[in-house]
Every structure is written in C-alpha cells, then in structure tokens.
Chain A
Amino acid sequence: MLHTKIIDIKDKKLSLVEAEQFISSSDFGASIFFSGTVRNQNNNKSVTGITYDSHDSLVLKSFEEIYNEADQKLNIRDKAVFIEHAKGYLNLGEISIIIAVACKHRDEAYILSRYIIEEIKKRSPIWKKEHYQNNETDWLKGNPIQYEKN
C-alpha cells in the first residue's frame, strides 16, 4: 500500500496526521515516522529558509520504484508507505518530507524507513535553494544522478 505526493507549499502543508491515518492498520505492529525539516545552519551559514524544486513526475516515479524494490531487495512485502515531499519556499522548522512506514515488525520498519530516505537522496530529482540572513541565496551542489553515459 503506497501513497506518494508532491505538495506545493502554496496550497497546503505536509501533515503527519494524514500520514498516520494512511498507514494505520491492525495488520501492522510497528510504525516509523520520519520527517525532514528546515534547519537554521548549513556550512557555517545562517539559513532563513529553503526553496525546494522538483521534477514532479520523475520524483513520483522514483518513489514508486523505491517502494517496489523493497519487495525484492529487502524482502519486505507486507507494508504501508506514505511519502510526501514539499515544493516551494519553506520557513525554518517547516516539514519538507514525510516518510511514514508500517510493517509487521520493528526490524522491517526501521530498515524500510532508512532505505527509502537514502534512495530518495540518491535518485529523486529534487533540489534545494538556501536563503541566508544576508539575503543571498545558493542552490546546494547535490549529487549527480548515476546513469549509463552511452
């Protein structure tokens, strides 16, 4: 069971309550909620906010691929997964990503939650532009997507 969405922050904020409602089931004995939030420091600079950019369709495709891989690579078949990522300008402390997972047992839930966030970092086309106290901005360097060049 999978829910994925890119949330335009102009329309609404990410909600842990909605995540809980989606994964809640008596089939599962363990739930993990991961949320990423905007912090006030990065590379010794005072951050005031972050603008998130996203290639929505490629991001949603990557979320589905990561979810499906959990069957084969992690052998975690019974699961509920809720993934939402924000796009647009977020203030300090606001939630940029929610990954909520529910599995039968805690070992699976911890492994799955960690797997999903690490794969998103490697594969999902999302970008951050940091805003600083001196009104400057900077796109973070990020990691190139790995692919066959030829």
Chain B
Amino acid sequence: MEKPRWSTKFFKKNILIKKPMKVQIELFGASREFSNQNFLEFNIKNDSTIKDIRKNLIDYLIKNFNGNENFIKIVNSSVFSSNDNIISDNYKITNNEKIAIIPPIGGG
C-alpha cells in the first residue's frame, strides 16, 4: 500500500527539522569596505536565493553603515559567483556554501 505523502516521518524530516543555513560571502573590490575581514557570514532561511542574499547584504549595510548609498549601489550592481561560475538571482544557496560578490570590474 502506498504511504501517505504527509507521513510523520516526512513531516519531521522536511518541515520541522529544517534548520537555518549559513552562507559565507567572499568580498572583492569595493565590497571589501563592508568588513575588516575578507568575508561576511549570514544565517539564511532554507531555499534562499541570490535575491535574498542581496536583501541580507542591504539590511546589513543599513544596520552597520547607516544605509551608505554608495555601498547599497555596489550590492545592486554586483553579480555573485559560486565554484567559479557566475550565478543568477534565482540560484538557490546550499548550507555552508561559499559565494563571492563581484562588484563592477575594471582591470588592465
């Protein structure tokens, strides 16, 4: 007989026991001014995306840098990378994933 989809086991595993996740954001270029360290770390909800990370970063800047407009502009004009690939705003973060913020570039 097929098990009911919402068994207690399934419910515990997928709904109740979901813990918040951690993400580490490596800082580059102008975003290095966001911290004395080379990275920021946030606790995030399950299924968070890059869109949520942008919001986390902006909340952090409002709290710690009085909403510095230039810093917020940097976040909004940056892309993010994971495992040496540029990732889209819909990319779902996994627990303890390390991503990098890539502000507007200009080498040479």
Which residues of A pack against B, CB within 8 Å? 36, 52-55, 57-59, 61, 85, 96-97, 117, 120-121, 123-128, 139-145, 147-150
Contact = CB atoms under 8 A, between A and B. Distances in A.
Given A54-B28, A144-B105, A147-B86, 14 more contacts: A36-B108, A58-B81, A58-B102, A96-B108, A97-B107, A123-B105, A126-B105, A126-B106, A127-B103, A128-B107, A142-B103, A149-B89, A150-B89, A150-B90
B10 to A, nearest CB: 31
Most interface-central of A36, A117, A120, A142 (chain B CB within 10 A): A142
B2 interface: no
Given A121-B108, A127-B107, A147-B88, A142 B78 contact: no
Interface residues of B, number: 22
B107 A144 contact: no
Interface string B22-40: 0000001110110000000
Contacts of A57: 84
B66 interface: no
B28 A53 contact: yes
- SS of A interface (majority): mixed
Top 5 A-B residue pairs of the complex, sorted by shortest distance between their CB atoms: A126-B107, A127-B29, A142-B106, A142-B104, A139-B30
B77 interface: yes
